[in-house]
Structure 1
Amino acid sequence: MNERVKGKKILITGASSGIGQYLAIHAAQQGGVPILVARSTDRLAIISEKIKHSFGVTCYWYEADLSNDAEWKDVIDRICYDHGSIDALVNNAGMAVFDLVADAKWQDIDRMLSVNVKSLFRTTHQLLPHFLQQGRGHIVNIASQAGKMATPKSAIYSATKHAVLGFTNGLRMEVEKKGIYVTSVNLGPVRTNFFQQADPSGNYEKAMDRIMLDPNHVAYKVINSLFTRQREINLPAWMDSGSKFYSLAPELMEKVMQRQFNRK
């Protein structure tokens, strides 16, 4: 059990599957109190019951569509009313539809912006006064290596993650002397159902199969870093190295990696 996490209330969005469900499990395993948010009430109820049975921890859950700002604002208010204070926020919810910009449907673009960016801003903006009043807290934003290195068919998705990184970096500097930690988690492809919507053809998932990250391992790393001063978590390490090289020589990287970049 992790003494830093023990007894802490941890709000996790996008918690009904993938990384989110493992975040809940590891938070409970370390003695934390998970507060889960997602659209799938059936999945949330199952995860909550499993956590209670396995770890003897009460796991709270709330239904919300994070693309609906008014609904999500009301749910956050209810969470704050029910629990008084939150110790950590993990902005994990995210979605993508991989497509050429010229072929993209506006409703897909709008939903990516709403879920990946606007809801993350909303949650953080609404909870930040509580953290500041407490003089402590941890905000973890699940970003992406795509936020550092864009590729074809992910221009919109990459833009949303660029926004998350910019927001996270600026926020970190604003609150670093006020007892609040802010961490970005920049991931390569993770073995979840994310790609069922992002790329229904399955081509990208098949091409990336050998290098996909394990969501359980990702969640463990995130929960283990809570309430520590960690600027970024970058996985896998080799992809992070590629992102750094890209920032130094983008034209060369785009030329050398053209085939890999076009695998979607």
Structure 2
Amino acid sequence: MSLNNKVIVVTGASSGIGALAAQMLSEQGATVVLAARSADKLKAVNSGMMGPSMILELDVGNDDSVEQGFKTVYAEFGRVDCLVNNAGYGKFAYFDEMPLQEFDDMMNVNYMGMVRCTKAVLPHMKEARSGRIVNIASIAGKIGTSKSTSYTATKHAVLGFSSALRQEVREYGITVSTINPGPIDTPFFNLADPDGHYVANVKWFMMKPERVAKAMVSAVRTGTAEINLPRIAGAGAKLYQLFPRLADLVSYRMLNKK
């Protein structure tokens, strides 16, 4: 799919891979809607856009914010050709030390935020019989590790939702993609790992955000069902599916670095 003049909404576009992907999409001719809660950060990202763009203050965790936000987008452009559900965050702690409210909050943003935004665009895409939905999940949704029960559960939900929705919308010419990255060198870890312990342990394995942003743009262009990054992590996920008990034994020391 050519991105020229396509209207693409990117949530979580105020920093990290969301901001980079938005700028890359703009470079390829798309009209990009930068959606996030922080207007100041969005303005900074918007200053680097090559083509037409729009700033949208949007809280994916709030029903009214999403509903009103997408009404604004449709009033301005009349359509959304692609939705990139990128907004999300993580916090790492042992299960018995993580407050229940954190489970609620993380699921509300990482999973229900994606559901809300998809609800806002899907009827229009079905009517147009075309559209792309790209959901940013995580390799954590396939391989669970210590101190990430809440975050892993949200990303597992994203993967399950995406797989089921893909079957529902296929006949309408709509594609649903998931991007499943491992650790990325972004501000995500400022909140997830404030003491830097995990980052220090996996620094050798962390990907540059540009690599993941390019995969996001690729999914927008091609509608590929799933992209796992890096490849070794994708291979590990397949091993888990085939031999879960063996994979747990082999990977315990390797993966539990938080």
Quote how far apart the aligned CAs of 1:194 are: 0.4
Quote how far apart the aligned CAs of 1:161 are: 0.7
- 2:225 is matched by which residue type in structure 1? R
Partner of 1:5: 3
Tell me if 1:120 matches 2:118: no
Structure 2 CA distance, aligned partners of 1:42 and 1:178? 38
Quote how far apart the aligned CAs of 1:201 are: 1.5
CA contact (8 A) 1:16 1:38 kept: yes
Partner of 1:17: 15
Quote how far apart the aligned CAs of 1:156 are: 1.1
Aligned mate of 2:96, from 76, 79, 102 = 102
- 1:165 is matched by which residue type in structure 2? L
Structure 2 CA distance, aligned partners of 1:65 and 1:156? 20
CA contact (8 A) 1:181 1:227 kept: no
Quote how far apart the aligned CAs of 1:196 are: 0.9
Aligned mate of 2:184, from 169, 187, 190 = 190
Q: Where do residues 128-207 of structure 1 align in structure 2 (5 Å cutoff)?
A: 128-207=122-201
Equivalent residues, number: 258
**Alignment identity in percent?**
40
- What TM-score comes out, normalization by structure 1 length? 0.94
Aligned mate of 2:47, from 46, 49, 52 = 49
Q: Where do residues 223-262 of structure 1 align in structure 2 (5 Å cutoff)?
A: 223-262=217-256
Structure 2 CA distance, aligned partners of 1:15 and 1:23? 8
- The structure 1 segments of at least 4 consecutive aligned residues displaced by more than 6 Å after TM superposition are none
- Of stretches 98-107 and 68-77 in structure 1, the one that deviates more from structure 2 is 68-77
CA contact (8 A) 1:11 1:89 kept: yes
Gaps of 5+ in 1: none
Partner of 2:29: helix, strand, or coil?
coil
Tell me if 1:63 matches 2:53: no
Structure 1 CA distance, aligned partners of 2:58 and 2:216? 23
Quote how far apart the aligned CAs of 1:204 are: 0.7
The superposition leaves residues 31-63 of structure 1 with CA deviations (integer Å, 9 ceiling, x where unpaired) of 111101111111111111221xxx2x1211111
